[in-house]
Amino acid sequence: MKQLIECVPNFSEGNNLQVINQITDAISSVEGVKLLNVDPGKATNRTVVTLVGEPAAVVEAAFRGIQKAAELIDMSKHHGEHPRMGATDVCPFIPVANITMEETAAWSQKLAKRVGEELNIPVYLYEDAQSDKSRSNLSVIRAGEYEGFFKKIKEPQWKPDFGPAEFSAKSGGTVIGARDFLIAYNVNLNSKSVKRANSIAFDIREAGRIKTDEKGKKVLDEQGNEIRIPGSLKGVKAIGWYIEEYGQAQVSINITQFRETPLHIVFEECYKSGFNRGARVTGSELVGLVPLSAMLDAGKYFLKKQRLSAGVSDDELIHIAVKSMGLDELGPFDPKQRIIEYVLNEGNQAPLVNMKLNAFADETASESPAPGGGSISAYAGVLGVSLATMVANLSASKKGWEDRWEEFSNWAEKGQQYKKQLLDLVDEDTRSFNAIMNGFSLPKGTDEEKAIRKQAIQDATKYAIEVPLKVMEVSLASMEVMKAMVEIGNPNSITDAGVGALCARTAVLGAHMNVKINTGSYDDKTFVADILKKAATIEEQAVKLEGEIVALVNKAIG
């Protein structure tokens, strides 16, 4: 499987589109790299670029971007609200798929070495790429910023990791490293006061604020060091600033551990702090891209605050998150352009599940062999669990059952997860069939070509067995939602859950047929025997469970 890393270089130019375009053109010139997002900021005079690809290609693309920025940006003339120290201020690598943080850090070190040696730019490593933890924090490295670095770089403890110990007036220095996904996030205030924004930033950020006495004098410990009062949120860095373009102050935030400190909690903490200080949060904005999970978690959080079921579609969860945090206050929020998974999948969407119902039926009825029984079985499973999820959501909002909304919300969330898995399998089954056809189309003129062709067919056949088996597994698992809704759900919808069970049984039996027919042409008979035994057990369980559910429905309706 391909290794993928993301790279998010920050360039110290946010106004001159000609310069920005030349930098991004240099990045895009590398084959195998996808430019996901270009986010210029006028007031910060800074552009955040996001690219993704295999490691070697990303290193080359980042190098070309840094090289072009050093050529075009004159730091001696740069002014902006954001802290900065170079034409390419910071360039982090983030592991995305099939690669460890250690491997990602090694690739970032290769880039840093090349930038230092070939471009003669002083480079500092940070976060997971930096072994010296006393200088791994970006804010510590960048302290003093561009203006202060001419002197700072001469201090022995601040000798660069790569490149000359000489600060270039034109290009400045660069920080390169590896880190987890960082969410850059600004919270908007109904105030122009930087002081008020900073107060909120100090309240929430992990580093907090320096303790002072009633006269405003710093309080020191016995060793003479400043005492800090920690903020409320771990893995959060924040400062306050005023954005002329918007006519309002913002709390500018970096969330470095978004799984531990979610986006919505950061928003809520800013809201509470602002309220306590007489300010009101009016909305917020994301800088660059955000992981899908952060948006889905936010949507669920705000729905549950309203005591409503969170077992709704991803689109609905994203909509709730955007509206709850005011992410569209300063401009439109397009999930396809702002959520990393959606951007990565652009142009590679599932063609079947995105069809209208009539188009899907027409495609199935055409002379094309795909979609066939496997995809239809998976979609039968989708319909079945969707019905059960509907019953859960109806139960969560049923009058008189207000104290049970969370119970049914949990069931609806389970149903949504099964639904998403089965939707993916609708197209995956067709792709697995096409892979077999592609194998048969390979040349077979020589012994070597015959061997390659045979192996390709066998690999595709194995996958064509595994996909319908997965349909069976997920469809069977989804029947727990149907049975629960028949037993405890809204009695007015009991037959809907029963129909769901019929669909799930059909999905299991139909997928089993595909497992069996594909095992007939697979050479590894031990593998085949194990799969057939497993599939037979799943079918037996599904038939038994469907019978129990239908019996419960019939008993209830008389």
Active site residues: 82, 429
Cα–Cα distance, 450 to 440 (Å, whole number): 10
Q: Which token pair is 85?
A: 């120290």
Q: Are 460 and 432 spatial neighbours (Cβ–Cβ below 8 Å)? A: yes
In terms of C-beta density within 10 A (0-12 exposed, 13-18 middle, 19 or more buried), how is residue 155 classed? exposed
Q: Which residues of 125-135 are buried (b: 16+ CB within 10 A; e: fewer)?
A: bbbbbbeeeee
Residue 170's φ and ψ, nearest 5 degrees, are -85, -55
Cα–Cα distance, 366 to 370 (Å, whole number): 9
Residue 2's φ and ψ, nearest 5 degrees, are -70, 140
SS3 500: helix
SS3 letters across 429-465: HHHHHHHHHHHHCCCCCCHHHHHHHHHHHHHHHHHHH
Torsion of CA 297, 303, 304, 308, to 10 degrees: -140
Look up residue 491 and give its amino acid: P
How many CA atoms lie within 13 Å of 102's alpha carbon, on the beta-carbon side? 0
Residue 377's φ and ψ, nearest 5 degrees, are -60, -45
The rounded radius of gyration (Å) of the Cα atoms in the chain is 28
Residue 290 carries which DSSP code? B
In terms of C-beta density within 10 A (0-12 exposed, 13-18 middle, 19 or more buried), how is residue 261 classed? buried
SS3 348: coil
Q: Which token pair is 105?
A: 């850090």
The Cα angle at residue 343 between residues 342 and 345, in degrees rounded to 5 = 65
Cα–Cα distance, 421 to 426 (Å, whole number): 9
